Amino acid sequence: MAEGNSKPEISFREYVSAHGLEEVHKRHGRIDLVPLPSDLPEDPLNWSSLRKNTLLTLVAFHACLGPFSAACAIPSFELFAVEFGVSLTKASYITAVPIVFLGAFPFLWAPISSRIGRRPVYLASILISAAMQLASAYCTTFGTLVTCRVLVAIFICPPQSIGASTVSEVFFVHEKGQKMGVWALMVSLGPTIAPLIMGPLVYHTGQWQWTFYLLAMMNFAHFILYLFFCPETLFDRPVRSTNPKSTATNIQHSANATGKWYSPYTSFHLHSRESWSKLPLDVASPLQYIIRPNILLPSLANAITFTYTNVLLTVQIPALLGQKYHLNTQQIGMQFVAPFLGALLGEPFAGIGSDKWMQYRVKRANGKREVEWRLPFAIPGFFIAILGLMVLGVCLQNTRSGVWNIAPDIGSAIALFGQQIVTTVCTTYAIESQPEHTGQAALLVALIRQTYAFTGPFYFTDQFDAMGIVRACGLLSGLIAIGMSFVLACMVFGKSWRKTETRNEEERTPDRRS
């Protein structure tokens, strides 16, 4: 019996040794890793958990700052209207207009970062944003303030796309749902945290300028943290030889590497030899993938749910709850505690839960993995978001005017809980379904979400005035249900769509070489 029990252990050790995986097993305690790391300590996949998670936290918070900066102006709408002589609807453009730039300009930053690296882009992004935040505080006309807010959106948006690429470059596939969820959570939390912080600030100072002073200080502090805790994640990983016992590739690469722990912070070199004259083509090239249903449908489902929960609440809470209960600026800001908690509680369920679900399905399939297996985890999210939206609408319409009631806030918390599940699962699926084009997929997810969300603030007020609160919420809930049907379609047809895309790419490859 002892001899029989030792056979598998000896066989495994022989396999590890024969394929040159001793260092991988020593570092990670397993060899079934995707992607398979090199033996080099400077490989981002081999970094310590502390180093990886610190970087993830900084990049995720940077991603949060885009929608956070746009939503920070919400508590100051009345002050803008008085100072610049505009209507409240026009004052809301300070928040609405930057949203579309947050979705479009990541297309520019992605190919730039592929050439010069992630670290220089992150550093330049946050430093220039700090300068534009400070400039916003000194604007004396409405037009110049909107211009400054657009410039902030342009320069602060890189993590909306390359943040997902950074996650893919640092973490393994079996961790991706949870880690991508942290990034997605921070994007969702931005619009809810902003009024929560800025409402009391504007109320006690009485000056909208302090909103932008604080943003400038936050961005500059983030720049300092990036200097010390944001190493370069683009890495030319050697391809392991398929010939057992052959580790020549790794040995040769090791001889060329510096091996210094600080080299990812201090070294700079071009990561791509692509001509800068091709940059416009590289900016537009991700659009060719937008017709792929594995990207388009989950992105639309995410965008619809995000717009009719997160964006709706961010824009309409001051109008709906503020007017209904006669709340001041500080009290309006406090109403965002509920959606903040809803999203915060939803993320562990979405990220960790969907990863555990995938591990369970993979184990049942004896190691076989299909990315569509993650999608059923999104379905409860749609129902929860619809439930929360209807609770918000019914309670808001039926509670007593002028007397604050917590019931609508409970509805908003439920809605954001469901939305976070949908966002994490749909974003992860869209990116996982394109293993050769993860950067392009992340760009398109952001573009579709932000473009769709951009339109919401222009019709929400008129819609609620014309239809009433409950009927408007019912209509938006129906649209979320349509978004759910897109995910159901991916669950049924996603695998065949991916096979067709792979076959088409293989057929086009010889044409390119010729």
The CATH number of whichever domain residue 417 belongs to comes to 1.20.1250.20
Q: How far apart are CA 498 and CA 500, in angstroms?
A: 5
pTM above 0.85, yes or no: no
Question: HSE of 415 in the Cβ direction (CA atoms, 13 Å)?
Answer: 32
The runs of H, that is alpha helices, within 365-468 are 379-398, 407-432, 438-467
Closest among 460, 131, 219, 126 to 320, alpha carbons compared: 460
Residue 380 neighbours by CB under 8 Å, 6+ apart: 418, 421
In this structure, is residue 353 part of a structural domain? yes
pLDDT of residue 510: 57
The SS3 call for residue 66 is helix
Closest among 32, 299, 365 to 357, alpha carbons compared: 365
C-alpha distance from residue 199 to each of 48, 71, 195, 211, 329 (Å): 39, 11, 5, 9, 5
The SS3 call for residue 272 is coil
Q: How far apart are CA 33 and CA 35, in angstroms?
A: 6
In this structure, is residue 249 part of a structural domain? no
pLDDT of residue 503: 85
Do 182 and 347 contact (CB within 8 A), yes or no? yes
Closest among 289, 331, 70 to 199, alpha carbons compared: 331
The runs of H, that is alpha helices, within 105-137 are 106-116, 118-136
Q: For tokens 């908003």, what's the residue? A: 412
pLDDT of residue 513: 44
The SS3 call for residue 425 is helix
- Number of Cβ within 10 Å of residue 285's Cβ equals 16
Residue 312 neighbours by CB under 8 Å, 6+ apart: 389, 456, 460, 476
In this structure, is residue 143 part of a structural domain? yes
In this structure, is residue 513 part of a structural domain? no
Q: How far apart are CA 157 and CA 159, in angstroms?
A: 6
pLDDT of residue 255: 39
In this structure, is residue 509 part of a structural domain? no
- For 212-245, the DSSP string reads HHHHHHHHHHHHHHHHHH-------PPPPPSSTT
pLDDT of residue 261: 63
Residue 60's domain spans which residues? 44-233+277-501
pLDDT of residue 10: 55
Q: For tokens 């918000």, what's the residue? A: 392
C-alpha distance from residue 503 to each of 97, 102, 298, 374, 429 (Å): 40, 34, 22, 23, 20
pLDDT of residue 249: 44
pLDDT of residue 365: 85
Q: For tokens 């917590």, what's the residue? A: 406
pLDDT of residue 452: 92
Q: What is the DSSP letter of 435?
A: T
For the chain of 514 residues, list the mean pLDDT of each consecutive stretch of 10.
Answer: 50 73 82 83 90 94 93 89 88 87 90 92 96 96 96 94 86 82 81 88 93 97 95 82 50 48 72 84 88 94 95 84 86 89 88 84 84 92 96 91 90 94 91 84 88 88 90 96 96 91 76 45
In this structure, is residue 439 part of a structural domain? yes
Q: How far apart are CA 76 and CA 96, in angstroms?
A: 14
pLDDT of residue 243: 55
In this structure, is residue 122 part of a structural domain? yes
Tokens of 437: 């084009």
Cα angle 361-346-211, degrees, rounded to a multiple of 5: 140
Burial 135-161 (b: 16+ CB within 10 A, else e): bbbebeebeebbbbbbbbbbbbbbbbb
Do 299 and 449 contact (CB within 8 A), yes or no? yes
C-alpha distance from residue 92 to each of 73, 79, 99, 158 (Å): 8, 11, 12, 24
pLDDT of residue 244: 53
How many domains would you assign to the chain?
A: 1
In this structure, is residue 116 part of a structural domain? yes
